[in-house]
Structure 1
């Protein structure tokens, strides 16, 4: 049985919208796309290569799927560390509106998300990976289906854009598993969901 592993890029203020380019996702009049580009370096590149090397399949939200499908099929080198896995491995897109997908190896996930994704995990050899797909990621976390979450936090504040965890997100506690900081200041942290948050209070010293 495979594991469900999510990798997502966010800013210091939690924005995940359009990290890769100005035209990637302009919903809501967003004009700051491409904010991850100035901070790309060999360290983050190695991490991304390591992640894709463990992939056994991909589970994507509709918008991320459309962005990927418009670019990666044109990178035809099978040895490319990102394009190779994306073009050759099974891809599953969660959508109720996607017509017959044109990207080879793509299937649409129908019906009950919990049931379908559980079945996908059971028949995946290696990691079933979600990249980006913030809305889908929140749903998967709510359903308890995410095993590992990689969060790459970039040293920039945008003040606008779609945030990964907006108000109303289900409270969730995470266990930290590993972390590193790249030469350009990108914080790469790996977590595992660990149930509901725990709470407490700091008592004042008796002589305060």
Structure 2
């Protein structure tokens, strides 16, 4: 059985909206290594439509010389959960549209591969609620925004278990949670 590992950049007040606020903190080697450890064991990428449509133009033309993560994002099969996107391969090579969220379809994918998820807040909420996310890697930036899309919006109740804590050189805390 494979695992689903989720990666989210978040603020201390839980905002996971388009993380432009991360720019002020740089992308030091220890952050790159931490995320690289998540992607290294993954043989597939699972994304929601919105994140897929943001990632495709940003990653599809990027080379390894520009970013060591480019081969992973471009060469790994991307599975896109969307009820509206039907031809993901025409948007970004090695991409497959799965249709709308179906926990049984996700279980099938997870059965024989490790999947990496980045962003995709709506998808992640569903994965966590359905017990499909094995690890939730929150990279918590030392900033509060006061507004924006939150991973767990008001009214959400979700118990988790803390698995690990890592302090990064740019002041970011990498918190790893699993199912409670």
Fold-level similarity (TM above 0.5): yes
Structure 1 residues 82-133: Cα deviation after superposition (integer angstroms, max 9, x where no partner): 2111111111001011141221111111256111000000131xx2011011
The reply to whether residue 110 of structure 1 matches residue 99 of structure 2 is yes
1:186 aligned to which of 156, 172, 176 = 172
Higher gyration radius (CA): 1
Consecutive unaligned residues in structure 2, runs of 5 or more: none
Question: What residue number does 2:162 align with?
Answer: 176
Question: What residue number does 2:109 align with?
Answer: 120
| Greater length-normalized contact order (CA 8 Å, ≥ 6 residues apart) | 2
Consecutive unaligned residues in structure 1, runs of 5 or more: 20-33, 195-208
Question: What residue number does 1:15 align with?
Answer: 15
**Which has the larger share of helix?**
2
Question: What residue number does 2:43 align with?
Answer: 56
Q: Identify the range of structure 1 (76-85 vs 89-98) with the bigger mean alpha-carbon deviation.
A: 76-85
TM-score with structure 2 setting the length = 0.92
1:36 aligned to which of 4, 10, 22 = 22
CA 18–111 in structure 1, closer or farther in 2 if over 3 Å, else same: closer
> Pairwise CA RMSD of aligned residues?
1.7
1:85 aligned to which of 69, 72, 79 = 72
Deviation at 1:166, TM superposition (A): 0.9
CA 39–79 in structure 1, closer or farther in 2 if over 3 Å, else same: closer
1:139 aligned to which of 120, 126, 137 = 126
Question: What residue number does 2:5 align with?
Answer: 5
Counterparts of 1:43 and 1:112 in 2: how far apart (Å)?
Answer: 34
Counterparts of 1:140 and 1:81 in 2: how far apart (Å)?
Answer: 28
TM-score with structure 1 setting the length = 0.80
Contact 2:82–2:101 (8 Å) recurs in 1 = no
Counterparts of 2:39 and 2:4 in 1: how far apart (Å)?
Answer: 13
Structure 1 residues 24-69: Cα deviation after superposition (integer angstroms, max 9, x where no partner): xxxxxxxxxx101111222212211222212210100111101110
